[in-house]
Amino acid sequence: MNILEKSQSIRNHEKTASDNLEGFIKQINKVNPKINAFVELKTDEAIERANEIDGRINKGEKVGKLAGLVVGIKSNINVEDFHVTAASRTLENYIGSYDATVIRRIKAEDGIIVGMTNMDEFAAGSSTETSFHGPTDNPRAPGRIPGGSSGGSAAAVASKICDLALGSDTGGSIRNPASHCGVMGFKPSYGAVSRQGLLDLAMSFDQIGSFSMDAGGIALMLNVIAGEDRRECTTIDWEVPDFTASIADSRNALKGMRLGVVKEFFDVSDEPIVNIIEERIHQMQEAGAEVVELNFDYLKLCLPTYYLINYVEFFSATRKYDGRKYGERIEEVCGEEVLRRIHMGSYISQQEYSGKYYKKALQARSLIRKEITGLLKDVDVLVGPTVPKLPHKVGTQLEPMEMYAYDILTVIANLAGIPAASTPAGDVKGIPVGMQFQAKPLDDEKIVKLMAAHEGLN
């Protein structure tokens, strides 16, 4: 049963919200101690919520779009009365005093929030190994990283201990773990979803998005969380499509669709991954899609551009963690990667270096955005690998640049502000591989349609 079918069955009294939740609680108790996807759970409150939803359904009262579905939330998104730690000792004792906009919208649509998921500390990582709660294991490839920074959310969905989960994506933090864990992950266009209540990593990149086992779940969550928020300055007043309606008949979505295939995306990816993605593209061609071969000459510029801007924005965002208002002073308790980014951001922010590094990075970003917009001019989507290499084993010591290399294909969407997603494409000796779709700004619906159409080919 897919997410949309389950949602309908709960509304139709064929399945209760309580039964759905109880099944997940049993699975959480069995699985979570092994994989460490959830770092905080509130099952009693969730049970009360499920009973209340069932009561309203039994009375014939109207219920929301997410009625009875169980949702996990990344630990850098504010949820009232939950610990919102960003997986850092800095905020170890911080309890959310309010709901982020996306949380208010989920609750308003009767989604059941069961717990907070693990992540890289302050979202600064690609492996979910830097959390002060300890690493998360990959349920689809045990012993390997689940990706990051939203690894707990991806692992929770992959191990079927919740229906849906929220993550945040700064340079691939939804798509990277979605690829490694064999689930779907969607990063909306910049400004399509409110970031109010998100603990920033880099405010000009960050976007909240979702994980699901199927395209219907991605569509349903977008219907709930997308749209303007007058309280958050980066959101766009846009006409949000009905995503679930748009995928109702996805069988013919591939006919005539122009897929942009960028040579350089494949050149930097490992051969077994390339083979899987090329086979998937061939299947989409057979279903009626047209392939357009493209070149992107600025791929090597993307990582340094992204990280230079990331360092400066992260340094600025962390100045509020000074140990006076709440939490600990970040530099005194944070991990190695967070401290590295603070020091780099502090250095680059100095007046004598800002022009040499930061301002040039902003110029490079404008160039990258222009080039990507140009590539998308005559195609519907760009298609390629999500991550260029397979996830390493938990505990493997990597140099910073080796870790950053996971992000080379995902940072592009954040630099350009465009929507992007990862969808399962296959596996290499049991290790999942994801395929990435990227589209023009606010062409989010086109990607969701393609995800559904590709899912139908399986």
149 is catalytic: yes
Q: What is the pLDDT of residue 326?
A: 80
Overall average pLDDT of the 324-334 stretch: 93
Q: What is the pLDDT of residue 249?
A: 79
Query: Based on the domain organization, do 331 and 371 belong to the same domain?
Result: yes
- HEC secondary structure over 384-449: EECCCCCCCECCCCCCHHHHHHHHCCCHHHHHHCCCEEEEEEEEECCEEEEEEEECCCCCHHHHHH
Overall average pLDDT of the 48-62 stretch: 97
173 is catalytic: yes
Query: Based on the domain organization, do 272 and 239 belong to the same domain?
Result: no
Q: Where are the extended beta strands (E) located within 281-380?
A: 290-294
Query: Based on the domain organization, do 202 and 275 belong to the same domain?
Result: no
pLDDT in tens, 159-175: 999 999 999 999 999 99
**Domain-embedded: residue 195:** yes
360 is catalytic: no
Query: Based on the domain organization, do 234 and 267 belong to the same domain?
Result: no
Q: What is the pLDDT of residue 389?
A: 98
Query: Based on the domain organization, do 196 and 290 belong to the same domain?
Result: no
Entry field: residues in the chain: 458
Q: What is the pLDDT of residue 351?
A: 80
Q: What is the pLDDT of residue 358?
A: 92
Split at pLDDT 50, 70, 90, the class of 325 is confident
Query: Based on the domain organization, do 96 and 150 belong to the same domain?
Result: yes
Q: What is the pTM of this model?
A: 0.97
Split at pLDDT 50, 70, 90, the class of 353 is confident
Q: Amino acid letter at 437? A: F
Query: Based on the domain organization, do 208 and 264 belong to the same domain?
Result: no
**Chain-wide mean pLDDT for the chain?**
97
CATH number at residue 170: 3.90.1300.10
Overall average pLDDT of the 145-152 stretch: 98
Query: Based on the domain organization, do 87 and 56 belong to the same domain?
Result: yes
Query: Based on the domain organization, do 157 and 268 belong to the same domain?
Result: no
Query: Based on the domain organization, do 272 and 193 belong to the same domain?
Result: no
pLDDT in tens, 71-118: 999 999 999 999 999 999 999 999 999 999 999 999 999 999 999 999
Active-site residue identified among 75, 88, 126, 173: 173
Split at pLDDT 50, 70, 90, the class of 9 is very high
Active-site residue identified among 74, 107, 446, 449: 74
pLDDT in tens, 260-276: 999 999 999 999 999 99
**Domain-embedded: residue 252:** no
Q: In this model, does residue 251 exceed pLDDT 80?
A: no
Q: Quote the CA–CA distance of 258 and 428 in Å, as a whole number.
A: 27
Overall average pLDDT of the 15-39 stretch: 98
Indicate the number of domains in the chain. 2
Region of 56 please: left (phi>0), alpha (psi -120 to 50) or beta. Answer: alpha
Indicate the DSSP class of residue 381. Answer: E
**Which domain, by its residues, includes 241?**
3-246
Active-site residue identified among 127, 149, 189, 194: 149
Q: Quote the CA–CA distance of 128 and 118 in Å, as a whole number.
A: 7
Q: What is the pLDDT of residue 2?
A: 96
Q: What is the pLDDT of residue 355?
A: 82
